[in-house]
C-alpha cells in the first residue's frame, strides 16, 4: 500500500497521484508539485489516503510544498495576464490570416511558458505567429491544437438538460460513446437531439448504458411468445425505465389487445419467469440464454485527447 494525495490541475480535469510526504493536506488545499511539464500549482481533489501498489503506474513524485499565500497571489497574477495574452494572440491570428479559433491561454506557474489552445479544421502553419508571440512575451510559446470536445470542456456551458455540461463539471476523462447506446435506450436518432454542444454524441448516453444492458439480458425479447396473467401473447415493446413489457395478447374471442405488464409477471413458453431472481440467473436468465445480449456495433466516438496539465490517465502519477 502507498500513501497518495490526488491533485487536479484544471477544474473537472484528471486526478493525478503524488506522495504527500509528511505535509498536512486536506481537500481544497493548493500544492506545488513537480510534473513532466515542470513545477505546477494544483488543487487537492483527494486527501491523503492509501491505495494498492499495483494501481500506481510509475513511481510517485513528492509534493514540493503546500501552497503559500505568495503562491496563490502568483497564480492570480498570471491568470489576469492570461486575459491580455488572449487578446494579443487573437489580434495576431487575424493579422496573419490564420484559419483557427483561439480557445484558451494558460501561463505556467512560474511564467516560464505560455500555452495557447486552439481549434482548426485542419493543419495550421503557425510558425510566424509563434515568432511574433515570443517577441512580445519574451518567454517560451506553445500552441496546441485541441478537439471540439476539449473546447467544450474548457469553455463550459449548459446542456439540453439545463445543467452545466458533464465534461466541464465532473467528468475527468472523455468516454467512448456510440450510436448503439441511443438505439438501446430508445432515443430519437435525430443527430441534433442526441448531440451535445460540442456537436458530438452526448457523454451522458454512457451513464445508464450498463443498466440498459443488464435489463435487456433479463427482459423478454420483442417478438417472443410469452405467457401473461391474461393469456398468451407476443412481446411488442419493453420499457426499461418502468420495467414493463407491452404484449399483444390474444383474447378468448380470438381478438387481440395491447396490454402492459411488469415484466417479472411474465413467463416464457417453458413456464419460466423473466426475472433475475430465479435459479440459474447467475449465468443470465434461462429464458433469454439462447439469445445473449451483445453490443457489437462499432464505437462511433473515440475518446478525445484531454488538454490537461498532466500526461496520462486519471489516477496516474507525474
**How many beta carbons lie within 10 A of that of residue 75, not counting itself?**
15
Cell representation of residue 13:
480535469
- What residues does 95 pair with on adjacent strands? none
Predicted pLDDT of residue 294: 41
| pLDDT band per the 50, 70, 90 thresholds, residue 89 | very high
User: Coil, strand, or helix at residue 79?
Assistant: helix
User: What's CA 142's distance to the chain center, in Å?
Assistant: 26
Predicted pLDDT of residue 318: 44
What average pLDDT does range 158-162 have in this prediction?
Answer: 83
- Cβ-contact 67, 73 below 8 angstroms: no
pLDDT at 118 over 50: yes
Cα(285)–Cα(268) distance, rounded to whole angstroms? 11
| Closest by CA position to 144, among listed 100, 97, 180, 198 | 100
pLDDT at 239 over 80: yes
pLDDT at 299 over 60: no
Burial of residue 291 (CB within 10 Å: 0-12, 13-18, 19+) is exposed
Amino acid at each position: 500500500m502507498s500513501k497518495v494525495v490526488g491533485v487536479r490541475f484544471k477544474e473537472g480535469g484528471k486526478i493525478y497521484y503524488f506522495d504527500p510526504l509528511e505535509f498536512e493536506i486536506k481537500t481544497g488545499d493548493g500544492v506545488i508539485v513537480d510534473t513532466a511539464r515542470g513545477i505546477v500549482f494544483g488543487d487537492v481533489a483527494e486527501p491523503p489516503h492509501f491505495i494498492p501498489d499495483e494501481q500506481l503506474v510509475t513511481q510517485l513524485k513528492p509534493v514540493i510544498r503546500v501552497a503559500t499565500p505568495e503562491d496563490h497571489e502568483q497564480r492570480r497574477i498570471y491568470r489576469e495576464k492570461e486575459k491580455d495574452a488572449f487578446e494579443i494572440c487573437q489580434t495576431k491570428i487575424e493579422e496573419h490570416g490564420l484559419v483557427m479559433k483561439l480557445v484558451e491561454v494558460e501561463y505556467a506557474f512560474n511564467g516560464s511558458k505560455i500555452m495557447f489552445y486552439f481549434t482548426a479544421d485542419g493543419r495550421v502553419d503557425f510558425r510566424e505567429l509563434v515568432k511574433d508571440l515570443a517577441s512580445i512575451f519574451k518567454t517560451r510559446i506553445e500552441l496546441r491544437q485541441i478537439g471540439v470536445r476539449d473546447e467544450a470542456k474548457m469553455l463550459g456551458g449548459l446542456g439540453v438538460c439545463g445543467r452545466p455540461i458533464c465534461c466541464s463539471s465532473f467528468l475527468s476523462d472523455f468516454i467512448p460513446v456510440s450510436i448503439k447506446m441511443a438505439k438501446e435506450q430508445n432515443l430519437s436518432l435525430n443527430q441534433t437531439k442526441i448531440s451535445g454542444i460540442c456537436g458530438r454524441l452526448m457523454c451522458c448516453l454512457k451513464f445508464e448504458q450498463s443498466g440498459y444492458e443488464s435489463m435487456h439480458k433479463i427482459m423478454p425479447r420483442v417478438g417472443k411468445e410469452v405467457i401473461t396473467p391474461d393469456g398468451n401473447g407476443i412481446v411488442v415493446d419493453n420499457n426499461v425505465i418502468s420495467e414493463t413489457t407491452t404484449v399483444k395478447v390474444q383474447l378468448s374471442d380470438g381478438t387481440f389487445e395491447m396490454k402492459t405488464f411488469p415484466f417479472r409477471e411474465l413467463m416464457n413458453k417453458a413456464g419460466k419467469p423473466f426475472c433475475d431472481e430465479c435459479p440459474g440467473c447467475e449465468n443470465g436468465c434461462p429464458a433469454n440464454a439462447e439469445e445473449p445480449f451483445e453490443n457489437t456495433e462499432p464505437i462511433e466516438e473515440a475518446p478525445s485527447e484531454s488538454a490537461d496539465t498532466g500526461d496520462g490517465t486519471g489516477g496516474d502519477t507525474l
